[in-house]
Structure 1
Amino acid sequence: MDVDDYQAYLDGDEYEYHGGFHDVSPVVLEIPYDSYWYLVVDGNVHRIKVSVTGIFD
């Protein structure tokens, strides 16, 4: 999510996101355009373990 959509997510307002539901690992995400991004991982009712790797500036 970009900064505006992330704030809307936190506020409980409508927001847009890139990605979706994934039930296999690893997941490779592509950033649609240059900006600051927030990665939100929601395990619903399940506890999940998350690891993030990649090329970061």
Structure 2
Amino acid sequence: MDHLYWNLGMCAGGAVFEIGLRGSTARVCLMDDDEYYAYVDGDEYEFFGGFYDLTPVVLEVPYDDHWWIVVDSNPADITVTVNQVFDDD
């Protein structure tokens, strides 16, 4: 599956990420490892986030785990930035 993604690695619960979208609206998903691999495999999955047309999108990691950010949009139409703005370690 072709998608824009960022492997955030291990993150503590409470870490906050700011996602900037330019050029298009998009669905922004924060997923742990299990949910991300279900997404890639085309299985049912759950995520934190939603559909956004205003940025920045701010998402907080809910618990300690390995995390991914996925942006569903046409890569040719969008520019995405991902920055960690708070680390609860």
Q: Structure 2-normalised TM-score?
A: 0.56
Identity across the alignment (%): 58
Q: Does 1:51 align with 2:81?
A: yes
Higher relative contact order (CA 8 A, sep 6+): 2
Structure 1 segments of 4+ aligned residues over 2 angstroms from their partners: none
Q: Structure 1-normalised TM-score?
A: 0.84
Instruction: Write 1 or 2 for the structure with the bigger share of helix.
Output: 1
**RMSD between superposed Cα atoms in Å:** 1.9
Q: Does 1:15 align with 2:58?
A: no
Matched positions, count: 57
State the alpha-carbon separation in 2 of the partners of residues 43 and 49 from structure 1: 10
Gaps of 5+ in 1: none
Gaps of 5+ in 2: 1-30
